[in-house]
Structure 1
Amino acid sequence: MADMTTDTTIETMTLGDLQAMRPDDCNQLPFGVIGLDRSGIAQLYNATESRMAGLSPDKVIGSDFFGAVAQCMNNYLVAQRFEDEAELDTIIPYVLTLRMRPTPVRMRLLASPSAPLRYILIAR
């Protein structure tokens, strides 16, 4: 994997890049990355997202992400999209509200039937 720099954005990251990335590389990205399995259990939670959200990876990984960690995303804009759309690559403006002041962000939702994880990329 090429060295990830601050030039890497949620727009330039691909599903293939995410799948090939080592955990250390993912932790160097300048935006949050959350990887969920098909049942919504968090399998990946990078250092940037941990720092920005104030949640440690050991509290998030292995948890029902939409049910126990990020209830503010458990709606038709985010969680339901992963249920309804097998192939997903979209960027949405969003406001995070759980455990923090309302925080405007841009989120990219990525999913493919061939990918073991579904991803949420968060740029603040």
Structure 2
Amino acid sequence: MNFDSPTLLADLERATASELDDAAFGVVRMDRDGVVLNFSRRESQLSGLSPQGVIGKNFFIEVAPCTNNFMVAERYAESGDLDERLDYVFTYRMKPRPVRLRMLKRADGGNQYLVVIER
């Protein structure tokens, strides 16, 4: 899997939890309500949060409330497909961490994904 791949969403949708763990970037797989289903090994390393501590929680409210804003959470709430890149700074429970986000979802359902690389 490649962060910039035009097929990244399809790759993530097919990926097992183990394959998400093997990705060179952080991956958060969420349901349509923002509840964390998978939290990859790399994202755990980057954030300092354990998968066991975040799976089953709402990402935007309980895990990373610094993303509960118009730039991130509200983009997922909009109708339509989403494939957007955004330079961002995570600030919750850690020193500020500059990252590049890729936000992905299909309009017709399924899971949604937040992919993270360090800048």
Same-fold call, TM cutoff 0.5 = yes
* Long gaps (5+) in structure 2: none
Secondary structure of 1:39 counterpart: coil
| Distance (Å, rounded) in 2 between the aligned partners of 1:38 and 1:66 | 12
Residue 75 of structure 1 aligns with which residue? 69
Which of 4, 15, 38 is the aligned partner of 1:11? 4
* Long gaps (5+) in structure 1: 1-7
Residue 3 of structure 1 aligns with which residue? none
Residue 108 of structure 1 aligns with which residue? 102
Q: CA deviation at 1:64?
A: 1.0
- C-alpha deviations, 1:20-42, integer Å up to 9, x for none? 11111110111100011111111
What amino acid maps onto 1:50 in structure 2? S
Q: CA deviation at 1:85?
A: 3.6
Q: CA deviation at 1:115?
A: 4.3
Secondary structure of 2:93 counterpart: coil
Q: CA deviation at 1:14?
A: 1.4
Q: CA deviation at 1:67?
A: 0.7
| Distance (Å, rounded) in 1 between the aligned partners of 2:32 and 2:67 | 16
Runs of 4+ in 1 over 4 A off after TM superposition: none
* TM-score computed with the length of structure 1 as normaliser: 0.89
Contact kept, 8 Å, 2:32 with 2:109, in 1: the verdict is no
* TM-score computed with the length of structure 2 as normaliser: 0.93
Q: How many residues align?
A: 117
Residue 46 of structure 2 aligns with which residue? 52
Stretch deviating more after TM superposition (112-121 or 33-42): 112-121
